[in-house]
Chain A
Amino acid sequence: IDQAKKSSANKAVVEGRRAMLDEWLAWRERMQADLAMEREDMGLPDLSEEQQALVVDEEEEQEGREVE
């Protein structure tokens, strides 16, 4: 019986977390879609200047690897 209790408690935790994660991911998706639309309406590229700083970096690194 203890085992059964434990496993149902664990299941509740897992389900609770899954619900939190799903809710979070759904909210993120909505925000990202809204932001992408606003940027497009304003004629701006997908990523902000500060996000772009990271992308350029990755591309440079990959180019470096190709040369090797």
Chain B
Amino acid sequence: MRPILLQGHERALTQVKFSKEGDLLFSVSKDHTVCAWYSANGERFGTYKGHQGALWTVDVDPTTTLLASGGADNTIRLWEVRTGRLLKTWEFSTSIKRVEFSEDGRQLLGVTEKRMNQLSTVIVYDIKQDIEAEQDDEPALRILVDELPKVTVAGFSYLNKYIITGHEDGSVTQYDAKTGEELHNSPSHEDGMQVTDLQWSADRTYFITSSKDKTAKLHASDSLDVLKTYTTDTPLNSAAITPDPVQYVILGGGQAAMDVTTTSARQGKFEARFYHKVFEEEIGRVRGHFGPLNYVAVDPTGKCYASGGEDGYEVEREKEQGIRF
């Protein structure tokens, strides 16, 4: 099957996410809109309009009822997936870098950006899974990150036990998701090299991080031990784990032309890279973008993967084929 090229966004894609059943694909872009697509044929399911700035992040709950998005307009918005109705807007004083639902869909976290006089925070809301319910204005938990460097990514582990954060300095931190207490900070990636993505395995007992240090690492959620390391030749923006029984990880990145200082750097080196999850060896690459890959996501059914690029395209590919934005 040929890859599906989804053209609908006018600017760079920042995150793409499959629904937990794999039938829909959600994308956010610097063009201020959230789009939903049928992953089977790439037709557009809908658009969610209302944000007033570039979007950085999107996530969908396990029943594909609620959609959360966040970005440069300093808001997290909650939408009804089916109708596109805006259900709730939470306002902050800095932009939202990440949103993520817990595996049970009962909690939503957001990462606010660190700015002058503003600390990085991770905020957690209890979510009522009823589209008619009034959602809480106040977070159930707020983690102020003052002693550690800026948080770039975050998510909930299995059983909503831990909140794991990735930081600007390349470290990874584990918090108690009930109390917000910092349990463990681990310098996983090269010092000063930002953690750019954090994605979970299907049961959330382990996760993968990508970094500007050109590696992706598999970590255990409970111990934060690094289980595997995938070494590439380009700064990485994203990393995803394929569902069992396929034992791959998919990595995306690339340097923008303006950032490439060496003449040896090949032009158009914007490929999704496949590595064997256990053996840590590269298996293959898939071309298709004209700019760095900002995000890669895997269909939870394992049928395909999608990549979103700085070039504004979104692509869906069947397994080693796939979806490009």
Contacts and interface: CB of A to CB of B under 8 A. Distances in A.
Interface of A: 17, 20-21, 24, 27, 31-32, 35, 38-39, 42, 44, 48-54, 56-57
Given A24-B278, A48-B158, A50-B202, 5 more contacts: A21-B279, A27-B227, A54-B21, A54-B301, A57-B301
A50 B103 contact: yes
Contacts, number: 61
Interface size grouping (class) on chain B? 20 to 34
Given A20-B278, A27-B227, A48 B204 contact: yes
Contacts of B202: 50-51
Contacts of B64: 53
Interface of B: 19-22, 62-64, 103-105, 158-159, 202-206, 220, 227, 278-279, 300-301
Contacts of B159: 35, 38-39, 42, 44, 48
25 contacts: A17-B279, A24-B227, A27-B227, A31-B203, A48-B103, A48-B158, A49-B62, A49-B63, A49-B103, A49-B104, A49-B105, A50-B20, A50-B62, A50-B104, A50-B300, A51-B103, A51-B202, A51-B203, A53-B19, A53-B20, A53-B21, A53-B62, A53-B300, A54-B20, A56-B21
Contacts of B301: 54, 57
Secondary structure at the A interface, as helix, strand, loop or mixed, is helix
Secondary structure at the B interface, as helix, strand, loop or mixed, is loop
